[in-house]
Structure 1
Amino acid sequence: MLLARGHEVVGLDSDLFLGSRFGDQPIIEVPSIRKDIRDVEANDLVGFDAILHLAGLSNDPLGDLNPELTYDINYRASVRLANLAKETGVRRFIFSSSCSNYGAGGDDFLTEESPFNPVTPYGRSKVMVEQDVSRLADDDFSPVFLRNATAYGVSPFLRFDLVLNNLVAWAVTTGRVYLKSDGTPWRPIVHIEDISRAFCVVLEAPVEKIHNQAFNVGRTEENYRIRELAEIVAQTVPGTRIEYAPDAGPDKRNYRVDCSKIQRVLPQFQPRWDARRGAQELLAAYQQVGIRVEDFEGPRFKRIAHLKELLAQGKVDENLRWAAHVESPIVF
């Protein structure tokens, strides 16, 4: 999407999940730096106008694997990156934050002014980045914080540890829409394509409109209780039924988010997806690939299991850095 809009793009990634390629989704090659976010140097950033920062341990189970490591990667490395960016003249720093910042937010709609109440290392790390990086803002350095709703949708490195992606996968492979919580928590959801649209729009917006601000990314009408998403999936995947795990209980993560600000400030942001259409897209993709339970519950696609396997095989060390003897990531 960035290339289509005329931008020059360079990637930076440690490639921990290179072995998690989904199907034959096309990947557009761009110049890329294979480096851990913790090891970025000033020379890596010279000449860039903007950084879109999405690197990190990407969800709550990963954050719980080693909370201190989560703070090291998600928090300290992010703040260090922002400082380096400012020092080297990068004017825009767009941070992929999260609605997990709101954590145990209750049933009322939450705006960007609502208090933070994170309940996981992942959520807390995002809050800490926002707080520290916002202090760096000045006339020459403009950070923006995109608090994405829970992502879903088909992509080349599709994640199955996201609620809608996961529910459709269970339905397709087992005939059960399998819920691991009691289904009562609220969760806002947003398609990965619409998240990408938000980044593009913010990148191109006049600085004075977005400078040092946070935006909830999604659509206000796309807040659902988890059980409502399960019902949509059951209606989408023929012959399926909803089933609750034996230990399904309440989830402390419960937040309902008002996303009106981004469209009010940036009316060019026009999200196109909803949960029902997303479930239909996922169903078609899973059927085409022939996804199996052992794929999305095992180390190929389940992020926490993938990292544990890399650790067990000695391919990464306890700090999730590639071992010296591993010249390039293994593609499964």
Structure 2
Amino acid sequence: MATVRGQHGNIQKVLLTGHLGYVGTVTAPVLAEAGIQVTGCDINLFDRADFAPGGTVPDIPNLGKDIRDLTVEDLKGFDAVVHLAALSNDPLGQLRPGLTQQINHEGTIHVAKQAKAAGVSRFVFASSCSNYGRAGEGFVDEEGKLNPQTDYGVSKVLAERDLKPLADDNFTPTFLRFATAYGASPRMRFDIVLNNLIAHAYTSGRILMMSDGTPWRPIIHVEDMARAFLATLEADPKAISGEAFNVCRTENNYQIRDLAEIVAKTVPGAHIDYAADAGPDNRSYRVSSAKIEKSIPGFKPKWDAVRGAQQIYDAVKACDLKVEDFEGRKYKRLAQLEALLQENQLDKDFRRTEPIV
């Protein structure tokens, strides 16, 4: 088996938490194709979201444990942890108050401490540009003020804060502040902005705008997210230890209305329509990618919104997506979790009530 041999490292075995989710199902094959032996850790909450046009869910070993229950013994033998597992968007913070912090913040620190004690050398944390929250009109870099507007954003800020002191000569935590994701995946989501706009446009002919379209968002294709993880594993640990990086391209910051215009040009016959209660969104930020370009030169994103919109449109057309699919539990994380709670497949702390099969 080939191994990832960056100038400063030799990463052979990686634990990928959240490997059965939207980003994880794309990331696992990218790491494996680079010669890394990948083991997953996921309780498989979103198995209904299989999406054939996005590819095949990777079949890799799965520890099958809640991240809050991982032990030093579970982590022994790994060279790195890529930590994706989390409650993944803002509305989930309202479903069970406190759980976003318990899982995204405290759970992350638990995994990192177990990894460090087990002799794991690198910990790559999937953070978020939502840390910036309301950032004004200018471009913000990694030294910019953190102003999260949601429980999700707060949880990522606190995780970064508490991971940083763990850095030393033998343990390299790195925080990848990802832009808003988009693109086709084997475990699809239609509750994120560009994917959602395409789904609405295809199924209804309307590009439904839930805000006034003025907020800024950086966006990144899910495949480029996977490339960022790989490039970070290959990077010089001295350049990335305890450091945060905006993961995007500076030119891939868009106002939401600009994305809507791209969708209108992509989906035949679709028109932009504003929801009755559409108004300003206080989450607005544009980010600079200068730091990652300098410190992690192996990161080479390949996608932009125009190409990505076409990919998503081709995918929803290939499976003839229906409104009931993308508006229901199948592709919306909040709806799926609510249903699992009602079916008693999850307890009040979002732990599986039955073993993972």
TM-score strictly above 0.5: yes
- Is the CA contact (8 Å cut-off) linking 2:207 and 2:264 kept in structure 1? yes
* Superposed counterparts of 1:200-239, under 5 Å: 200-239=230-269
2:106 counterpart of 1:76: yes
Q: Which segment drifts farther, 141-150 or 291-300?
A: 291-300
Partners of 1:69 and 1:226 in 2: CA distance: 29
- Is the CA contact (8 Å cut-off) linking 2:175 and 2:242 kept in structure 1? yes
User: What's 1:19 paired with?
Assistant: 48
TM-score between both structures, scaled by the size of structure 2: 0.90
User: What's 2:15 paired with?
Assistant: none
User: What's 1:9 paired with?
Assistant: 38
C-alpha displacement of 1:23: 2.2
Aligned residues: 327
C-alpha displacement of 1:182: 1.0
User: What's 1:241 paired with?
Assistant: 271
Identity of aligned residues (%): 53
C-alpha displacement of 1:171: 0.3
Q: What amino acid does structure 1 have at the position aligned with 2:332? A: K
- Is the CA contact (8 Å cut-off) linking 2:43 and 2:356 kept in structure 1? no
* Superposed counterparts of 1:28-67, under 5 Å: 28-67=58-97
Q: What amino acid does structure 2 have at the position aligned with 1:127? A: V
* Superposed counterparts of 1:138-153, under 5 Å: 138-153=168-183
C-alpha displacement of 1:157: 0.5
C-alpha displacement of 1:267: 2.2
User: What's 1:108 paired with?
Assistant: 138
User: What's 2:217 paired with?
Assistant: 187
C-alpha displacement of 1:327: 4.4
Partners of 1:302 and 1:266 in 2: CA distance: 33
User: What's 1:97 paired with?
Assistant: 127
User: What's 1:155 paired with?
Assistant: 185
C-alpha displacement of 1:27: 2.5
Q: Spell out structure 1 runs of 4+ moving beyond 6 A.
A: none
User: What's 2:301 paired with?
Assistant: 271
- Is the CA contact (8 Å cut-off) linking 1:64 and 1:120 kept in structure 2? no
Q: 1:327 to 1:86 in 2, by over 3 A?
A: closer
TM-score between both structures, scaled by the size of structure 1: 0.96
Q: What amino acid does structure 1 have at the position aligned with 2:132? A: Y
Q: What amino acid does structure 2 have at the position aligned with 1:171? A: A
| CA displacement 1:39-82 (0-9 Å, x = unmatched) | 11111100100000000000101122123011000011111111
| CA displacement 1:206-252 (0-9 Å, x = unmatched) | 21121111110010000011011000000110111000111111111
